[in-house]
Amino acid sequence: MSAEQFRAYGKQVVDWIADYLAGIESYPVRAPVHPGDIRARLPSSAPEHGEPWDRIQADVDRVIMPGVTHWQHPGFFAYFPANASGPAILGELLSAGLGAQGMLWETGPACTELESVVVDWLAELLGLPAWWRTDGPGGGVIQDSASSAALVALVAALWRAGRVDAGRTACTVYVSAQTHSSMAKAARIAGVTTSNLRTVDVDPDTLAMRPEHLEELVAADVAAGAVPTMVCATIGTTSTTAIDPVGALGEVCRRHGVWLHVDAAYAGVAAVCPELRWINDGAAEYADSYVTDPHKWLLTNFDCSVLWVADREPLVEALSILPEYLRNPATDSGEVIDYRDWQVPLGRRFRALKLWMVMRWYGAEGLRSHVRRCVELAGELARLAGSDDGFTVYEHHPFGLVCFRPIWPGTAEAAADEATAELLRRLNDSGAVYLSHTTVAGRTVLRFAVGSPATGSEHVRAAWQRVVAEYRAMRPGVSG
């Protein structure tokens, strides 16, 4: 592709994206396709001869778009958000344009140093401790996902526990039933056996991990000769945004020399608002590692997950292997960060560009107003649902997620849960909204997560009207 062709087609693509985002409400939120539909429209082999751009671009509309679920749609309330924004998209484009690969400082000085700066900026914006900054003993790094962050944090914890290669069969890791599955996956990958993954009880009302039970489990493991290695506390669980008592769990960790990893993948960025900083209580004092995902709720395209460590030494020592072909004077000087030593892969994308652009374009003020708007809209949904006696609303919704459950009087629990699942199917099949579900205390519950920058009060109210309409249609005896 010549420079002139790139210029022309590149402008077409940018126009296409601008039109897409401006007209996103014309699409059904969830792709109305069945497994195999998209594959069936594609040839089984790659073309032998190159094709003109216009044909390729036309196939994006014809073949790809019908199979896209529109995460930026204002009616997207499922899972957690995966925000995109103009400055982040442009940052991605620039990163691709540079074609940079920042495995070492030497192979990408700006890639490395900008990353250190933006993670330091973000630490400050979130009120995280100064010693987690890269100009302190700790440091931050952008990972592809909170899952990778959990894995490298665990590898660092195993290193600190002296379990470099062998001896991992003695190591135990502590989660709750509400902890994200990525921690169990990290344990599996890192060689912590499934039988050494301990499940700490949660408080039945708050779903927060119980420090007393953690203490019991750790003490029993120590007595049995095991090596308690990591506790994963969550700020904003995936199911219901429950918040573990980080400080009290951290006390147990400190007493027994256990690494405390704090998973704040979705909710951590909310601390950009001073009124929400309380969510991080205890993290500064006790966390050895902390992760939050700007790619979820901070206007930054996937992927962008920031991991901080309070002390970078165990992380870098655990992951640093220096073959001759990577040796260079900058690395030898010890004066630079080589981010390859902070992650699983060697190669790395220039992700800092998009986060830098997002932070500069919106400013701290713009980021705060995005989070606040989502929290307010979630509050509005909770009020609407709470004032309708057809629904039970879960009181805890400090962020953008509200959990609620329709009431099916005179119906046994299993059948009521099936009716709730049917209501969800009808809502999502409508194409107007997309919600997801979870289980709380064994009951099927609907999750309504406000997070798209395009979502306004009118979308939340329209979505609620649709929920009510489908519910009334399923309960014909009930008046609206």
Ligand X SMILES: *Cc1c(COP(=O)(O)O)cnc(C)c1O
Q: How far is the CB of 257 from ligand X (least distance, A)?
A: 25
By beta-carbon proximity to ligand X, the closer residue of 183 and 318 is: 183
Neighbour count for residue 180 (Cβ, 10 Å): 20
By beta-carbon proximity to ligand X, the closer residue of 170 and 200 is: 200
Q: How far is the CB of 451 from ligand X (least distance, A)?
A: 12
SS3 271: helix
Residue 13 exposed, middle or buried by CB count within 10 Å (0-12, 13-18, 19+): middle
Interaction of residue 71 with ligand X, rule CB under 6 A = no
Sheet of strand 259-263: strand arrangement: 139-143, 305-309, 289-292, 259-263, 227-234, 171-176, 197-200
Task: Give the x/- contact pattern for ligand X in 234-273, rule: CB under 6 A.
Answer: x--xx------------------------x-xx-------
As a whole number of angstroms, the distance between CA 246 and CA 384 comes to 32
> Which residues within the stretch 362-421 sit at the binding site for ligand X (CB under 6 A)?
none
SS3 287: coil
As a whole number of angstroms, the distance between CA 248 and CA 391 comes to 34
By beta-carbon proximity to ligand X, the closer residue of 150 and 170 is: 150
Q: How far is the CB of 290 from ligand X (least distance, A)?
A: 12
- Bridge partners for 163 per DSSP: none
Task: Give the x/- contact pattern for ligand X in 9-48, rule: CB under 6 A.
Answer: ----------------------------------------
Task: Give the x/- contact pattern for ligand X in 169-188, rule: CB under 6 A.
Answer: -----------x-x------
By beta-carbon proximity to ligand X, the closer residue of 293 and 341 is: 293
| DSSP class per residue in 159-213 | HHTT-SSS-GGGEEEEEETTS-HHHHHHHHHHT--GGGEEEE-B-TTT--B-HHH
Which region among 213-221, 231-239, 282-290, 320-328 touches ligand X (by CB under 6 A)?
231-239
> Which residues within the stretch 288-347 sit at the binding site for ligand X (CB under 6 A)?
293, 305
Q: How far is the CB of 207 from ligand X (least distance, A)?
A: 12
Structure tokens at 470: 């489908």
Size of the site for ligand X (CB under 6 A): 14
Alpha-carbon distances, residue 391 vs 155, 381, 464, 471 (angstroms): 44, 12, 12, 10
Q: Write down the H helix ranges in 192-293.
A: 211-223, 246-256, 283-286
Neighbour count for residue 426 (Cβ, 10 Å): 16
> Which residues within the stretch 135-154 sit at the binding site for ligand X (CB under 6 A)?
145-147
By beta-carbon proximity to ligand X, the closer residue of 265 and 272 is: 265
By beta-carbon proximity to ligand X, the closer residue of 180 and 210 is: 180
Cα radius of gyration rounded to whole Å, the chain: 24
Structure tokens at 459: 């979308």
By beta-carbon proximity to ligand X, the closer residue of 419 and 449 is: 449
Q: Binder to ligand X among 77, 80, 308, 350 (CB under 6 A)?
A: 80
Q: How far is the CB of 462 from ligand X (least distance, A)?
A: 26
Which region among 17-25, 233-241, 280-288, 425-433 touches ligand X (by CB under 6 A)?
233-241
Would the CA dihedral through 215, 217, 221, 226 be positive or negative? negative
Q: How far is the CB of 80 from ligand X (least distance, A)?
A: 6
By beta-carbon proximity to ligand X, the closer residue of 57 and 206 is: 206
By beta-carbon proximity to ligand X, the closer residue of 342 and 464 is: 342
- Sites of contact with ligand X (CB under 6 A): 80, 145-147, 180, 182, 234, 237-238, 263, 265-266, 293, 305
